[in-house]
A and B are shown apart, each in its own frame.
Chain A
Amino acid sequence: MALSKVWVHAEKTETGVAPISLEMLAKAREIADTVEVFTAGDGAAIAEEVGAHGATKVHATGDLSGKLLGAHVGAALAAAIEAGDGPDLVMLGTTQDGRDIGARLSVKLDKPVLTNNVEVEVADGIVVSTPIFGGTQIVKTKFSAGGTAIALFRPKSFVAEPSGGAAAEVAALDVPDCGAAGAAKVNNHHVEETSGPKLDEAAVVVSGGRGLGEAGKFEMIEELAKLLKGAPGASRAIVDAGWVPYSYQVGQTGKVVKPTVYIAAGISGATQHMVGMKGSKNIIAINKDPEAPIFGIADLGVVGDVHKVLPKLLDALKAR
């Protein structure tokens, strides 16, 4: 059994369509006859890219004059669905905007929104899979309310793959007047400059945690990441402590990474963190506590002091 129509949120980055959206498009093609996307702002700019990934139509809101997306896109989707043009399933990423839009849409339609999913199946209804307890158990939940289902997916749950489709047709997604609820706006964007590969795309990720002892020691993590042509990451503990920006955070809140090699230095392995990195192909952990949970999933675990092991590792790599 396949669904007749799925809508995927085409989230934008500075350079095009976000990887999470292309990943969901690959899955949407598997489960639905018709795959379309919706997007905030201009649709023409992404028509070719989403078309190449199987979308036949882009429903675009047009300029939202700097308003935050949640209320406006949520209301626009609800209006389109109530007008009878709706899909069986709306797929969004578990991202900031994805959550806002999904939440607003769920209230407008009075239907549940299920978040943090890593899989969706269509059999006797639409069933999504969600990891709980730090990814140790998987819950499967069926949408039983009828009408349009709303589901949010974690990044890297699916593999993006172009289908070679033609540019998608651009259609207007009308935004109703949102009144007071739509008044939140963005005045300025700040992009934190990073060099090297992106955290969620790098083949090697080196992350540091509380075991580093102090903010200054994060330099070792950055140096090691650079030597391995990878990206530096961090546990929530040191992001909360203000050592590094949130954009470094790997975990349940933060980025999901699946690199070839993940090196965890001074990270004990709270479930919060593990859920964001346990999909890595190879994991190396360095921690002085032999009981640290991270050793339970590491391919190579080193029980030792990061302040001793890392400097020697850096020297050895530099000497090559």
Chain B
Amino acid sequence: MNIVVCVKQIPDPADPGALDADHTLKRDGKLILDESDSYGVEMALQLVDKAGSGEVTLVSMAPNSEVSGLRTALAMGAAKAILVSDDALKGAGALDTAKVLAAAISRVEGADLVLAATESSDGYTGTVPEQIAAILDLPSITFAKSVEIADGTVKVQRQTEAGYDECEAPLPALVSVTAGVVEPRYPSFKGIMAAKSKPVDNVTVADLGIDAAIVGWAGAGQEIVDVSAAPEREAGEVIEDDGEAHLKIVEFLDGLKVL
């Protein structure tokens, strides 16, 4: 069982985000593994473990040959990584990203399954996994809350608005997983040490055989025309509970006539 996991390295969500002058997200500081992707990595490790053979390969696209987030996922147990880093990718939209990641995935021989998060924590478009599946002509099941593999088929409980659907697809396939699908492990000290020497194949757009003119700003097919502050919501009254705060809440609800 060979599994490819798409992982994104993002600015720490605990820090306030900012845009560069060209309206792209500031990503020049240290990047970390998107927590949303740790679930896919864990799921992949467990599925390979259960199958008894195979390995987990990571693919990622990031500026400045950033690897710190990849090292975290390698420390969890992934075997190797392909990192696409190229100045031509600045301004890449979801479709461009999917083209690049799909080309990187194609370099992994014998991949049975591609896993990704349902959406990244920063860009949150939620379309890249399905776009990758479309480019690679794979069946896909998005929003998985449980994933099992048996007899060349992936069986998935897919979250829906009302509950969940039991779905399946023949391998090879792509599955996007929600947070909570499994509990991600913490990298062990041994894992962290081992990760330092695991192979990371650092490639450019040209290495993937992609024309730089069709990705990044050049090929985005979209143009940001304005960025502005959203209308702010004013804070109201804040009180300290002195043991009687519940009466204040009742009074407030009364005023709104919802009681």
Q: Which residues of A contact B (CB under 8 A)?
A: 13-14, 18, 68, 70-71, 74, 94-96, 99-100, 102-104, 106-108, 110-116, 127, 131-133, 135-145, 152, 179-192, 203-204, 228, 236, 239-242, 245-247, 252-253, 260-261, 263, 272, 278, 282, 284, 286, 290, 295-305, 308-309, 312-313, 316-317, 320
Contacts and interface: CB of A to CB of B under 8 A. Distances in A.
What are the 8 tightest A-B residue pairs by CB atom distance, in nearest-first order? A304-B241, A145-B221, A103-B130, A107-B134, A299-B236, A301-B238, A184-B169, A313-B246
Contacts of B93: 112
B162 to A, nearest CB: 5
Contacts of B229: 136-138
B133 A113 contact: no
Given A74-B134, A145-B221, A253-B119, A261 B256 contact: yes
A187 B160 CA distance: 14
Nearest to B247: A316
Interface string B181-209: 00000000000000000000000000000
A308 B142 CA distance: 41
7 contacts: A107-B98, A114-B222, A141-B224, A228-B258, A261-B258, A297-B235, A301-B237
Contacts of A236: 179
Contacts of A95: 161
Interface stretch (B41-49, B69-77, B121-129): B121-129
Contacts of A299: 236-237, 252
B168 A187 contact: yes
B139 to A, nearest CB: 4
B22 interface: no
B170 interface: yes
B235 A301 contact: yes
A131 B227 CA distance: 10
Nearest to A11: B161
A57 to B, nearest CB: 26
Contact of A180 (B127, B170, B224): B170
Interface of B: 16-17, 19, 23, 93-95, 98, 118-119, 121, 124-131, 133-135, 137-143, 145, 158-170, 173, 178-180, 220-230, 233, 235-241, 243, 245-250, 252-253, 256, 258-259
B243 to A, nearest CB: 8
Contacts of B119: 253
A190 B163 contact: yes
A108 B134 contact: yes
Contacts of B162: 13-14, 189, 191-192, 247
Given A96-B160, A111-B221, A189-B163, A139 B23 contact: yes
A286 B245 CA distance: 10
Given A139-B224, A299-B237, A304 B245 contact: yes
B222 A143 contact: yes
Contacts of B131: 103-104, 106-107, 113
B241 A180 contact: no
Contact of A246 (B124, B126, B159, B224): B159
A316 B251 CA distance: 11
B140 to A, nearest CB: 6
Contacts of A188: 165-166
A242 B139 contact: no
Contacts of A204: 258
Given A189-B165, A240-B180, A246 B134 contact: no
B221 A143 contact: yes
Given A95-B161, A179-B137, A140 B224 contact: yes
Given A180-B137, A181-B139, A191-B162, A112 B222 contact: yes
Nearest to B237: A300
Contacts of A112: 93-95, 220-222
A242 B180 contact: yes
Contacts of B141: 68, 184
A139 B226 contact: yes
A104 B130 contact: yes
Contact of A141 (B178, B222, B250): B222
Nearest to B245: A302
Contacts of B230: 131, 135-138
A64 to B, nearest CB: 13
A265 B223 CA distance: 40
Contact of B143 (A94, A96, A142, A301): A96
A254 to B, nearest CB: 10
Nearest to B181: A240
